[in-house]
Amino acid sequence: MAEDSITLKKLREQFGDSIIESHSRLGQDTAILPKKVLLEAARMLKEDPTLDYNFLMDVTAVDHFKRRPRFEVVYHFYSLNHNHRLRLKVPVGGESPEVPTLTGLWPSANWYEREVWDMFGISFQGHPDLRRILMYESFEGHPLRKDYPFDKRQPLVGETE
């Protein structure tokens, strides 16, 4: 495994012991970090001038269902100045999964995190306005969780058969 990218090198220097896994395959960097270092790592990714990840492209999640910890929050970062990309994964589990918000560093995290909350029910500590964004307020449950029955409907207007 060639781990020559500057991002992984820096992450390794800073968080060596706590990195769960990292790899660089086909020029794509991936790091799996525990929740407790997420904010610190994110700050470094943004503020270190040699990394300069100024664009948070996406926040999403994966429901592994049977696996423990059950969820993985996935962040995609991009540096417009260096043309670097990084995929960062944070495993979370438990009854009410929670990770710290990144809205303080990248304002674009706001809507992404609301979407992850809406679809997966993973909440974001410190988010300024964590409401549903795609589904309606009265919707119960989180439809992209593997245990949500995909064809269960919660109509807003009375449906006739």
Partner 1 sequence: MGLDFKGSPETGFFTSKLDAVIGWSRKYSIFQYPFVTACCGMEYMATSCAHYDVDRFGAGLPRFSPRQADVLFVVGTINQKMAPVLVHIYEQMCAPKWVIAFGVCTCTGGFYDNYAVVRGIDHVIPVDIYIPGCPPRPETVINGLMLLQEKIQNQPNEIA
For partner 1, the closer CB: 55 or 148 = 148
Stretch in the footprint of partner 1 (CB under 8 A) among 38-46, 69-77, 99-107, 152-160: 152-160
**117: Cβ–Cβ under 8 A, 6 or more apart, which residues?**
123, 124, 127, 130, 132
For partner 1, the closer CB: 78 or 148 = 148
Residue 153 as a binder of partner 1 (CB under 8 A): the answer is: yes
Residue 148 as a binder of partner 1 (CB under 8 A): the answer is: yes
Residue 55 as a binder of partner 1 (CB under 8 A): the answer is: no
Q: How many residues bind partner 1 (CB under 8 A)?
A: 17
Q: Footprint of partner 1 on residues 125-144 (CB under 8 A)?
A: 135-136, 143
Interaction site with partner 1 (CB under 8 A): 135-136, 143, 148-161
